[in-house]
Structure 1
Amino acid sequence: MKVSQLARIHALITISMFSATMLLSACGGGGSSNNGNSSPTATTPPPVVTPTPTPPTPPTPPTAGTPAMGCGNVTSTGTGNTTQIVVDGFPCAAGGGVGQINQVDQPYVSVKICAPGSTTNCQIIDHIILDTGSTGLHIMASALSPSLQPGATGLPLMAGSAGTTLTECEVYVTSYVYGPLATADVYIAGEAVKNLPMQVIAQPGYTTPTACSKGGGTATQSTASFGGNGIIGVSFASVDSGLFFDCNNSASGTCVNDNSFVGLPHPVQKFATDNNGISITMPAISTSGVASAVGTLTFGISTQTNNVPSTSTIPLVLGFNTTNGTDGDFQTLINGYWQLTYMDSGTTEDTLLDAALPACTSASGASGLYCPTSVTNVSIGLADFNTSTVKGTLTTPVGNASTLGASTNLAAFNDLIYTNGTAASAQPQVIGFSNFFGHTMWVLFENSSAQGTGLGGTANTKVTGPMYGVN
């Protein structure tokens, strides 16, 4: 769930009806408020030829029970400006066994990491969480090969303003991660970034500063507890918002806050091309759930013929909520009630406030979710931040969580929906990854522009982010 822009939240929760642990990951748009409340600005460039919109077509989902992505044996990260997204339950956390479900509704991509300047000291790392609610690349140390471990012979460590090792802390609801920053050449699909700053999580020998651990919770030290081999944040924000430290040695030296480091950069914004936004396309799935699903991550918006939003796309202008200190919000309307909302692929399940839906009882083992007697479709009106003009609707199915939870071999659901308190106590609503199925979702980055087709403009105008698009 989403809190202040200075503390993007992962909520690692265990629901008794599942044998899997579900990660609600970093929400809050990466924490940048440089342009968090901007709105589309229209300019008039010379007339251009409008390419024919050709939304990316997801590959056919694999056969049920077969892992959609290999564990340690992936040989490609895609081509051109597209790469594969898989939802397969992260079987790697259980040794790669077929049917091992460790994460529900968690999208993964593969990323190639190389030592800067090298074409041989490289590794393709699978099961990197795809997160539109955070910014930056964070890789578990245990997922890196020995030759890429940070240090003199692997990924170069970054120095802070005091000349000592620069480290980062990410504080979550019930846990935190900590580790040094290093640089790497990063490749995904046909795109590349040289010398990209990234975090290495749980690197051995680094003592966590008290300022990082004092918030409580436990340190995340394994890929199983993290829910993946790392996370790539592709939110609208240009930099992330962790806590950064200068440490005079890796083992037990004194660490001091380093406020001069602005944050890990957005990896996609560092691409040479296709760097103004992304889209996520997922296939429609059964309300009974499926064992796995495969979709497409496409880089760029209106930079090629395969990334032009359809004219049926609902454009949403994002804003900054001064009350809660959150950015990346828009408005939703459900059964006459308006609510602040954000969209986050790294959050595994949606939340919504609908008094007409029955909540699950504690005896059902699914407390905190909805349990209608049959699948119920809820219409969500979508509007720009701080407005009450519905621009379109998103229909989300709501299933009986207690019944769905009996299926322990399924990794993808589109109708597991969490309750969101009462009208008086509700937090911002989450359109999480379960609502990505059957849609293409667009993110136009802050300070980036795109042809207006499908995003509230025309082929002859441009719009400027941050914006979402729903289709």
Structure 2
Amino acid sequence: MTLVNTLRGLAWCAAVLVGAMTLVACGSGGNSNSAASSAPLADNVVPIMVAKGLDRVANIGTVSVTLCAAGNAAQCQTLDNIQLDTGSYGLRVVAAELSPALRSALQQATVPNSNAPLASCALFADGYSFGSVRIADVTLGRRTASAIPIQLIGDPNFPAVPSDCVVGRSENATSELHARGILGVGAAAVDCGNQCAANAAASSYFNCASASSCVPTVVPLAQQIANPVANMPIDNNGVIVDMPAIGPSGQSSASGTLLLGIGTASNNRLGSSAMVLTTDGFGSFSATYNGSTITAFTDTGSNGLFFTDASLPACGSGNPFYCPPGQQVKTITVKGANGAAQAVHLNVGNASMLLSTPNTFAFNDLAGPMPRYFDLGMPFFYGRRVAVAISGKSTPSGNGPYVAF
């Protein structure tokens, strides 16, 4: 799932029904997460699970997150079914998923130089999420980011969504997100950056002095919704998503790992075969596909590969994916700002046939149309170890932002 206000990808995220499975072209999903093994996990390891989740959505990777009121270990809650998203930045949790006690204990962030409550609007390609900005301790694995801003989606204290935020469909409830929240661990340290720090008219933050009339406001970088990984005391320079390879017919589930840090421990080294592609501040790089140069990005928040190819027939009938007569192999050449380039081979299958298979939720060849960008969604991650380095952070392979695989 990609934040539109970062000017990155614009994947279509349509939801339709095929058999017993919900199709979502990008973003959102959930599943109860558990380690694939009973062996103790390293402190910087977070299990990833792709399975049927809350709503039987294909290709959605989910993790567990522990959320506490800042500095208050007595008010905590562990949430599974949190969507892992390398295409956005910061933790966003559906307010209704928290206990009333924790929701009340989470400190309300205020507008700079004011006591007015601060709220945020996340504009995704298919819709919007609006809610308050709260201060919380966020734990992934056994690493904690203390007292960082998060978004409380659908906060009942602010029931009136500003008209500036209403773009597409509402994604303010678990039933709309198909997840209990979104964990954005992309290449940016905060969710909006200088755009929101300098220009209220272009800001995704709101002054809610009146709960029924929120107005856009500027917010300094330090008070914007924060990427939790960037705020960990260690293992804080990025993440590695490590997913197993799967076959062309898909499988019922897939278990992988989210490793915190890059080159900070024995388990999160890139390895000599990984190619580093430096990116812009939000993780985008250039790519050549069918003779055209376009912008590309890696995005676990999209449940398919999304790009334009006139030779691939669309499924139609409300199905937002491609349906070629047989599996196709497509090649994209990706290139970083550092000049490093690599040809990537991708499979594209017939989505109607794939998604008609009962109780199969992990696919490496699910793809659909999207103009102007190439979204390397979850199918790209199967069988790869993909690193995302955070902008401004140092790693043994150079400073972020970059992606490597």
TM norm. shorter chain > 0.5 = yes
CA–CA separation in structure 1 for the residues paired with 2:169 and 2:304: 23
Q: Relative to 1, partners in 2 of residues 1:14 and 1:255: Cα closer, same or farther, differing over 3 Å?
A: closer
1:407 aligned partner = 357
Measured against aligned partners, the alpha-carbon deviations of 1:173-216 in whole angstroms (never above 9, x if no partner) come to 44321111111122111201221211111111313343434x44
Shift in Å, 1:16: 4.7
Shift in Å, 1:90: 1.7
CA–CA separation in structure 2 for the residues paired with 1:256 and 1:400: 46
Matched, 1:138 2:92: yes
| Pairing partner for 1:112 from 35, 50, 66 | 66
| Pairing partner for 1:437 from 363, 382, 397 | 382
Asked whether the equivalents of residues 178 and 208 of structure 1 are also in contact (C-alpha less than 8 Å), the reply is: no
Alignment of 1:81-92 (within 5 A): 81-91=44-54
> AA paired with 2:170?
A
1:53 aligned partner = none
Alignment of 1:38-49 (within 5 A): none
Residue 77 of structure 2 aligns to a residue whose secondary structure is: strand
2:396 aligned partner = 451
| Pairing partner for 2:331 from 354, 358, 379 | 379
CA–CA separation in structure 1 for the residues paired with 2:90 and 2:369: 30
Matched, 1:330 2:285: yes
| Pairing partner for 1:464 from 396, 399, 405 | 399
Q: Relative to 1, partners in 2 of residues 1:306 and 1:370: Cα closer, same or farther, differing over 3 Å?
A: same
Q: Relative to 1, partners in 2 of residues 1:246 and 1:3: Cα closer, same or farther, differing over 3 Å?
A: closer
Measured against aligned partners, the alpha-carbon deviations of 1:135-180 in whole angstroms (never above 9, x if no partner) come to 111110111112111x3xx111111122111111122344321111
Residue 321 of structure 2 aligns to a residue whose secondary structure is: coil
Aligned residues: 385
CA–CA separation in structure 1 for the residues paired with 2:126 and 2:264: 40
Matched, 1:305 2:257: no
Alignment of 1:52-451 (within 5 A): 69=33, 79-91=42-54, 93=55, 101=56, 103-149=57-103, 151=104, 154-161=105-112, 162-213=114-165, 215-241=166-192, 243-250=204-211, 252=212, 254-262=213-221, 263-319=224-280, 327-355=282-310, 357-362=311-316, 365=317, 369-385=321-337, 391-420=341-370, 426-451=371-396
CA–CA separation in structure 1 for the residues paired with 2:210 and 2:259: 40
Asked whether the equivalents of residues 67 and 137 of structure 2 are also in contact (C-alpha less than 8 Å), the reply is: yes
> AA paired with 1:415?
D
Asked whether the equivalents of residues 277 and 338 of structure 2 are also in contact (C-alpha less than 8 Å), the reply is: no
CA–CA separation in structure 2 for the residues paired with 1:7 and 1:204: 30
Shift in Å, 1:405: 2.4
Residue 26 of structure 2 aligns to a residue whose secondary structure is: strand
Q: Relative to 1, partners in 2 of residues 1:229 and 1:23: Cα closer, same or farther, differing over 3 Å?
A: farther
CA–CA separation in structure 2 for the residues paired with 1:87 and 1:256: 39
> AA paired with 1:230?
G
> AA paired with 1:360?
A
CA–CA separation in structure 1 for the residues paired with 2:90 and 2:40: 18
2:198 aligned partner = none
2:200 aligned partner = none
Measured against aligned partners, the alpha-carbon deviations of 1:18-73 in whole angstroms (never above 9, x if no partner) come to 630415239xxxxxxxxxxxxxxxxxxxxxxxxxxxxxxxxxxxxxxxx7637xxx
Unpaired stretches in structure 1, ≥5 consecutive residues? 27-66, 71-75, 94-100, 321-326, 421-425, 453-462
Residue 387 of structure 2 aligns to a residue whose secondary structure is: strand
CA–CA separation in structure 1 for the residues paired with 2:319 and 2:11: 20
**Higher share in strand:** 2
Measured against aligned partners, the alpha-carbon deviations of 1:353-389 in whole angstroms (never above 9, x if no partner) come to 445x431353xx47553333322222322212495x6
Shift in Å, 1:283: 0.5
Shift in Å, 1:10: 7.3
CA–CA separation in structure 2 for the residues paired with 1:134 and 1:278: 13
Answer with 1 or 2: which has the greater Rg: 1
Asked whether the equivalents of residues 328 and 349 of structure 2 are also in contact (C-alpha less than 8 Å), the reply is: yes
Q: CA RMSD in A?
A: 2.7
Q: Relative to 1, partners in 2 of residues 1:368 and 1:104: Cα closer, same or farther, differing over 3 Å?
A: closer
CA–CA separation in structure 2 for the residues paired with 1:143 and 1:299: 25
CA–CA separation in structure 2 for the residues paired with 1:288 and 1:136: 34
> AA paired with 1:409?
N
Q: Relative to 1, partners in 2 of residues 1:6 and 1:246: Cα closer, same or farther, differing over 3 Å?
A: farther
CA–CA separation in structure 1 for the residues paired with 2:332 and 2:9: 25
Asked whether the equivalents of residues 170 and 176 of structure 2 are also in contact (C-alpha less than 8 Å), the reply is: no
Shift in Å, 1:340: 2.1
CA–CA separation in structure 1 for the residues paired with 2:272 and 2:100: 48
What TM-score results when the alignment is normalised by the length of structure 1? 0.75
Asked whether the equivalents of residues 10 and 25 of structure 1 are also in contact (C-alpha less than 8 Å), the reply is: no
What TM-score results when the alignment is normalised by the length of structure 2? 0.87
Unpaired stretches in structure 2, ≥5 consecutive residues? 193-202
Asked whether the equivalents of residues 17 and 366 of structure 1 are also in contact (C-alpha less than 8 Å), the reply is: no
Q: Relative to 1, partners in 2 of residues 1:78 and 1:195: Cα closer, same or farther, differing over 3 Å?
A: farther
Asked whether the equivalents of residues 77 and 124 of structure 1 are also in contact (C-alpha less than 8 Å), the reply is: no
